[in-house]
Structure 1
Amino acid sequence: EKDIDEFLPKREPQWLLDPENPVTHGNIIMPKDYPRIRRAMQDAHENAKRLIPEISREWRERFGTYHGDLIERYRCDDADYIIVSYAALGAESKVAVDELREEGKRVGLARLRFFRPFPSEDILSLSKQSDLIVIDRAVSIGFEGPLFTEIKSTLYGVSDARVYGYIAGLGGKDVTYKDIGKMVKKVMDGRWKGVEWYDMEG
């Protein structure tokens, strides 16, 4: 804990709930100030995109572990298809990649560590060599998976890569590496017909 405390910057709260010094916190921003506040938020995310890789490297040098920058790449160098997922789906996808590789299928994994700032440059780089299979654990009701939408938007007009989408594991339903392998094989066999809700039975 001491090492972690030394690594992290000292936290100096700017706004305190102090009964000895009461203040009012409001969430109303007047129209003349609103654009400036939103721009400041956007700039903060762009700065974070630059700083995250630097801090990841500092962490690795100090503690010996490394979890990737905005995304974690796994066996992507020669992949024909790259699974794009996140969180627990990413862990299962890594096992699926190894299983598929043993079958001679050139598949890799891009595991998102951050949704915002969105890793647009990384996704574009991966799309230059591979098609992308996106597995969402969420749905934008009335449309499709949010990660699928973000990736298509990133690649629109600048990449010829195909992007395939699945929605799976909503509400915490288990999605195993075997399930992910089936999704990939369906794409590779030409049986994917559009954004698919995987395993709706049971």
Structure 2
Amino acid sequence: MRSSVVARPDQQEIRPTTVRSPGAAPAHSAPSGADVAITYLNDKAKPHVEPLARLEAPIHAVGRSRARPGRAGVRTYFGDRGELDFLVHSIAFSTKDALGGRVTDVPREGFLTTMEISCWSFIRMAHLAEPLIKRGGAFFTMTYHGSQFVVENYNIMGVAKAALESAVRYVATELGPKGIRVHAISPALSRPAPPPAFLSLIRS
């Protein structure tokens, strides 16, 4: 088993989903040589992923507010014979009535929606992606330190992230023997200067 939960206390936001798939149509090549396909949830998320079009990667909408990835969608992105080397799951959602109030007062529907999109969608994506991992790989998902500590106004999302981190450990245990590493990370801006290759990419 290879799993980790890496938290950064200064994370400010969660970015849309990014999926990378070397060697699989209809993705396109990034500067590093990897083939990349990018997905987003809805029109509200689209402006955040459109700048990634500089990688000449296809960008796909994946559906409505509830994240329910299916096998047909996986075939659309990677082809019937596609292979996947790693996947980044980066989606979270909660209804206003669930997120805006106390955890003690969360309504059932709001709780189920929060858990379905923020946690279960990762489990489902791991299930669908597993057959595409032919030579070992890695799954990543986004977490936040509000899963381990009480953060003001984070509320039910902290509960969902705690569940997500637990799912990471179980999925890592199950898929580890196949060489699939599973990680929950909490990225944030870093103060050290970025490498020259990254600077040249964002300036191009």
Task: Tell me, yes or no, whether TM beats 0.5.
Answer: no
Larger RCO (CA under 8 A, 6+ residues apart) = 2
Give the TM bin, normalised by the shorter chain.
0.3 to 0.5
Give the structure-2-normalised TM-score: 0.34
